[in-house]
Chain A
Amino acid sequence: DAGVIQSPRHEVTEMGQEVTLRCKPISGHDYLFWYRQTMMRGLELLIYFNNNVPIDDSGMPEDRFSAKMPNASFSTLKIQPSEPRDSAVYFCASNRREGVAEAFFGQGTRLTVV
């Protein structure tokens, strides 16, 4: 397996534009997590899914953020409209809830909103 795949790696967009981040988890993993990393706030859990169903979205900052998982191999995180304070690195991770339950991370998407 190629690991967790995120796209794009870098995104620069203007304030007010819609941004869509994409993630392909590892095959067979039934949990998928979206995190946001900034210098000020560290690594924040935004939302996570189990078997494509959102379990906890309490970390989503506001209504401008939405996430979907239409099938076991694909998830999106959308920001509409984007604001400069959304600039961060967004990570997707996946795992199976058994044994050590190691989480595997994608390389992240660095989002810059100007």
Chain B
Amino acid sequence: GEDVEQSLFLSVREGDSSVINCTYTDSSSTYLYWYKQEPGAGLQLLTYIFSNMDMKQDQRLTVLLNKKDKHLSLRIADTQTGDSAIYFCAEILSGGATNKLIFGTGTLLAVQP
């Protein structure tokens, strides 16, 4: 199937680390993505990882990829109240003219002060 699955909700205290998990479906995806949606806004690309990498670090963000298990995670270090948002993982199902961008269910991250 084409379902990309995530847990629905995560609550953390300010300053703690957050880890958001995702399982995806297409082992041939070239890139895997994390998008962030703030209240009342559209989604914006937060970070991505190339499929031949296991890990990518970008300031407070760490992306881990386990291709064998089709598992993707996003770790946010020193989580701030401004990180409160919905986080979506995404993959592109590709081939020919196909460029089907599929998103997970989204994880609502609530950061408590």
Query: A108–B42 contact, CB under 8 A?
Result: yes
Is A12 among interface residues, defined by CB-CB distance under 8 A? no
B98 adjacent to chain A (CB < 8 Å): yes
Total count of chain A residues near the partner, CB < 8 A? 23
**Contact A97-B45, Cβ < 8 Å, known A42-B105, A42-B106, A43-B106:** no
CB within 8 Å of A: which B51-108 residues? 88, 90, 92, 94, 97-106
How many contacts A-B (CB < 8 Å)?
61
Distance in Å: Cβ of B86 to nearest Cβ of chain A: 9
Chain B: residues with Cβ within 8 Å of the partner, total of 24
In the bound assembly, the distance between CA atoms of A106 and B42 in angstroms comes to 6
Contact call B44/A48, Cβ cutoff below 8 A: no
Across the interface, do A101 and B42 meet the contact criterion of CB distance under 8 Å?
no
Known contacts: A50-B97, A50-B99, A56-B98. The answer to whether A103 contacts B104 by CB under 8 A is no
For residue A36, give the distance in angstroms from its CB to the closest CB of chain B: 11
Contact: A101 with B103, CB < 8 Å? no
Q: Which residue of chain B lies nearest to A3 when distances are taken between CB atoms in the complex?
A: B42
Q: How far is the CA of A101 from the CA of B50 in the complex (A)?
A: 12
A44-72 contacts to B (CB < 8 Å): 45, 48, 50, 55-56
Whole-angstrom distance from the CB of A113 to the nearest CB of chain B? 20
Within 8 A of A (CB), among B28-42: 31, 33, 35, 40-42
Query: Are A101 and B106 touching (Cβ within 8 A)?
Result: no
Contact string against B for A residues 29-41, beta-carbon threshold 8 Å, 1 for contact and 0 otherwise: 0010101000000
CB distance from B65 to the nearest CB of A (A): 15
Given contacts A100-B31, A103-B45, A105-B44, contact A43 B103 (CB under 8 A): yes
Which residues does B use to contact A, with CB under 8 Å? 31, 33, 35, 40-45, 48, 88, 90, 92, 94, 97-106
Question: Besides A56-B100, A91-B42, A103-B101, 11 other CB < 8 A contacts?
Answer: A4-B42, A33-B101, A42-B104, A43-B43, A43-B103, A43-B105, A45-B100, A95-B101, A97-B94, A102-B45, A105-B43
6 tightest A-B CB contacts, nearest first: A105-B42, A42-B105, A43-B103, A97-B99, A105-B43, A102-B45
